[in-house]
Amino acid sequence: MQSKTTFRLALLASLFIAAGSAVADTASQTKLDIHAANQAETEYIERIIVTATRTEQPWLASPASIDKINVTEQLPGMRSDMAEILAGIAGLQVDSRYNFAQDTRIILRGFGARAAFGVRGVVMRLDGVPLSMPDGQTQVSSIFINHPSKVEVLRGPIAAVYGNAAGGIINLQSQPAANSYLALSHAIGANARQRSSLDAAMVQDTFSVSGHYARFRTDGDREQASAERDQYALRGTYQLANNIELLARVDDNHAPLLQDPGSLTAMQWAENSSQTFSGAARFNTRKSIRHRQQSLTIQQQLAHYDWQVATWHGLREIEQYLPFRADDITSSGAVIDLARNFYGVHGQFNWRPQVFTGRWQLSLGTDIERQKDTRQGFINNFGTAGELRRDETSRVAKNDLYTLSTLAVTDKLSWLAGFRLSNLVFDVKDRYIVAGINPDDSGQTRYSETAWTSGLNYQLTKQWALFTAVGHGFETPTLTELAYRNQGTGLNSDLGPAKIMQYEAGIKWLSADANGQAQLSLFRVDSDNEIVVDQSIDGRATYRNAAQTERQGVELSWRYQLHPAIQLRAAATIMTANYKDKLQSDSLNGNRIPGVASKNVFIQANYQPWHDDSLRAAIVAQYRSRVATNDNNEQFAPSYILWHASLDAKQVSANWHFKQWLRLDNILDKDYVGSVVVNQANGRSFEPAAGRQLSLGFSVERYF
């Protein structure tokens, strides 16, 4: 199967060469004039640097599917949901649950669809520091969503160099303050949604520090869905001699109340999509979170080498009430009390030998990470914690080494190759033991895995390039996925790592005047022992290994300056994601993997009547095909088309900047499902989205 796939990709690459050469001859004769402000932006596009591959390369020269989006390209908004800054990226499916207790679900080429909360199967980083835990899970609500200025998404085989759970990489990049300033903003929306923020920065020649605070409140889009969240952050940079730079971050996210309205059955959703699951009020389902993290990075950039060392430490505390009692001795309880302590060190050295100046770079690195979860479970006495039903401490130790080589074989052909060795240990110490009823469930599971990747990029002309890549990676279960089993108690030691083989080929185009940009990618992903949801009951999920799965598809991303006042941006993904599970009696062979849409299309048009950003109107069209809710494909969430629009303005008076924005989501008031709960045993698979929503905001900034 792998040899056939490789042959297909080679054939596609040869076809791209023929087609690309013909199109390049035509494209080179076309050149549009645009105004100065847009010219500065398009020059930025031409100089895109691919940091997600842990090397620096121009976008056109990298052998991978990569999209890099300026957050300012997105519609303006309150920035309370990660979907606001991840919209319109090929290969990326972002499911808004409209439930702040569960987080946004992020799916990249089908990876992450099983996530009951948070993010699985996708590595996320902010300014080089992992947001993902050592076991591969991520909670995106722990950061200031409005702080990243750029989003870089790496898909495909090259992601394997990131190791565990690297189905793809989302790298968020913030922009250090260029000037001292003081800023105040406020935004309001439907259902008493409001967000206020205060930001300040002091910038000197070699030193800068900034402080940030945000307060978010909402009554929720349904009953039992209110949320409160306060965030604090400090950022600091210091430039030392010899081009050495220090970066420090301190983040504190406190969400004392995140109510959970639960999901609905298909019939309930059809009758009244705004209703709340009856058990949510009965058991007062809710969650509280406190997430604190500190990081320090030191780095140096010189002509023939550069290096970076980053260290971080964090604490995460969660209390969650599920909608059932769970009073049986072996039930583990329905009130979760979790305290997580995590820390790590990342180091990388990039060497560019003088004899190969500009042609070869060798990178060596290590990731050493630790995670400790202290977990207790109690009976849920209809909204209050009862007797103890679980008490354990779980640990994850991760020790990785990797190397990455990028070589310009010729002026047109470049080769990237990487290898990673990963060792992970999961250890559980059980303290809740009842003789003859609830045994000692202590245990340990070890994983020693390797990952590798190789990719070629051939630059046909200054505007056209071909690329192809292959890679092998893996994904271990997270601590949460190991925590429960359908029968019995203790660590689900039968759950093993998934082995993932990825293939990719594509073509990139950048217009001669950098006025347009496009990328077309074809991909295939073959998985053995993929981790999938076995059962999900009222917020508690168990998992199993599927025999095999396969994903294949095509992605297109495109942007173009149609007119000095009109910019267009589009992204489309067409894929199949199916089981190849021939080993079970109730074979799932050919069934769709639940949670994954086969088609996602996004189109955005911006209108800026003047040669600056003083006024912009935008409209977005978004299509998603139907989504299976379970392995048997007996039920699907329907497809939908949504329309959104916005208007934002900016005025400058001396050192004062004033901004206003207005946004209308779901203009046609479409009734649709924002996300599905995969393999929900009680049938409540639909997480309803909100109807038409109007929001607006303003900010005042004073620069010094």
- List 259's β-bridge partners, or say none: 286
CATH of the domain at 658: 2.40.170.20
Dihedral over Cα of 578, 579, 580, 582: its sign = negative
pLDDT at 150 over 50: yes
pLDDT of amino acid 478: 84
Structure tokens at 110: 């089908």
In a domain, 266, yes or no: yes
Count H helices and E strands in the chain, helices first: 6, 35
In a domain, 5, yes or no: no
How open is the CA angle 444-446-452, to the nearest 5 degrees? 160
pLDDT at 528 over 70: yes
Lowest-confidence segment of 176-180, 184-188, 540-544, 615-619 by average pLDDT: 540-544
Query: pLDDT band at residue 46, thresholds of 50, 70 and 90?
Result: very low
pLDDT of amino acid 585: 47
Query: pLDDT band at residue 54, thresholds of 50, 70 and 90?
Result: low
State mean pLDDT over 555-580. 95
Pairwise CA distance, residues 447 & 477, whole Å: 10
Query: For the segment 500-518, what is each residue's pLDDT rounded down to a tens digit?
Result: 999 999 999 999 888 899 9
pLDDT of amino acid 445: 87
Q: Which amino acid is at 680?
A: Q
Q: Is 323 helix (H, G, I), strand (E, B) or coil?
A: coil
Pairwise CA distance, residues 470 & 506, whole Å: 12
pLDDT of amino acid 489: 63
Query: If you average pLDDT over every residue of the chain, what do you get?
Result: 88
State mean pLDDT over 34-56. 43
pLDDT at 51 over 60: no
pLDDT of amino acid 48: 47
In a domain, 7, yes or no: no
Per DSSP, 475 falls in state E
> Model-level pTM?
0.89
Query: pLDDT band at residue 128, thresholds of 50, 70 and 90?
Result: confident
Query: pLDDT band at residue 295, thresholds of 50, 70 and 90?
Result: very high
Query: pLDDT band at residue 115, thresholds of 50, 70 and 90?
Result: confident
pLDDT of amino acid 441: 83
Query: pLDDT band at residue 55, thresholds of 50, 70 and 90?
Result: low
Range of 381's domain? Answer: 16-703
Q: How many CB atoms lie within 10 A of CB 314?
A: 21
In a domain, 92, yes or no: yes
Q: Which residue has the higher pLDDT, 335 or 143?
A: 335
Q: How many CB atoms lie within 10 A of CB 432?
A: 19
pLDDT of amino acid 39: 37
Lowest-confidence segment of 77-86, 156-165, 225-234, 412-421 by average pLDDT: 156-165
Pairwise CA distance, residues 369 & 345, whole Å: 6
pLDDT of amino acid 165: 73
- CB half-sphere exposure, 196, CA atoms < 13 A: 4
pLDDT at 583 over 80: no
Query: pLDDT band at residue 487, thresholds of 50, 70 and 90?
Result: low
Residue with tokens 């909670």: 139
Query: pLDDT band at residue 538, thresholds of 50, 70 and 90?
Result: low
State mean pLDDT over 350-366. 91
Count up the domains in the chain and report the number. Answer: 1
Q: Which residue has the higher pLDDT, 548 or 23?
A: 548
Query: pLDDT band at residue 137, thresholds of 50, 70 and 90?
Result: confident
Pairwise CA distance, residues 163 & 172, whole Å: 18
Pairwise CA distance, residues 423 & 548, whole Å: 24
Percent of the chain with pLDDT over 70: 89
In a domain, 11, yes or no: no
Query: pLDDT band at residue 130, thresholds of 50, 70 and 90?
Result: confident
pLDDT at 651 over 70: yes
Structure tokens at 685: 């698979």
Q: Which residue has the higher pLDDT, 85 or 120?
A: 85
List the strands of the sheet with 123-126, edge to edge. 65-70, 148-155, 168-174, 123-126, 129-130
Per DSSP, 565 falls in state T
CA 155, chain centre distance (Å): 11
Q: Is 692 helix (H, G, I), strand (E, B) or coil?
A: coil
Total number of residues shown for the chain? 704
pLDDT at 262 over 90: yes
In a domain, 369, yes or no: yes
pLDDT of amino acid 488: 62
pLDDT at 10 over 50: no
| Residue pair 206/222 in contact by the 8 Å Cβ criterion | no
Query: pLDDT band at residue 581, thresholds of 50, 70 and 90?
Result: low
Query: For the segment 662-701, what is each residue's pLDDT rounded down to a tens digit?
Result: 999 999 999 999 999 988 888 899 999 999 999 999 999 9
Q: Which residue has the higher pLDDT, 250 or 54?
A: 250
Lowest-confidence segment of 434-448, 512-526, 623-637 by average pLDDT: 434-448
pLDDT at 218 over 90: yes
pLDDT of amino acid 56: 61
In a domain, 419, yes or no: yes
Q: Does residue 496 come out as left (phi exceeding 0), alpha (psi in the -120 to 50 range) or beta?
A: beta
Query: For the segment 153-189, what is each residue's pLDDT rounded down to a tens digit?
Result: 999 999 988 888 777 899 999 888 899 999 999 999 9
The string over 628-649, giving b where at least 16 C-beta atoms fall within 10 Å of a residue's C-beta and e elsewhere, is bbbbebebbbeebebebebbbb
Pairwise CA distance, residues 54 & 164, whole Å: 16
In a domain, 3, yes or no: no
Query: pLDDT band at residue 540, thresholds of 50, 70 and 90?
Result: low
Query: pLDDT band at residue 88, thresholds of 50, 70 and 90?
Result: very high
Query: For the segment 306-324, what is each residue's pLDDT rounded down to a tens digit?
Result: 999 999 999 999 999 999 9
pLDDT of amino acid 140: 83
Structure tokens at 490: 């203790």
Query: pLDDT band at residue 354, thresholds of 50, 70 and 90?
Result: confident
| Residue pair 429/392 in contact by the 8 Å Cβ criterion | yes
Pairwise CA distance, residues 24 & 624, whole Å: 32
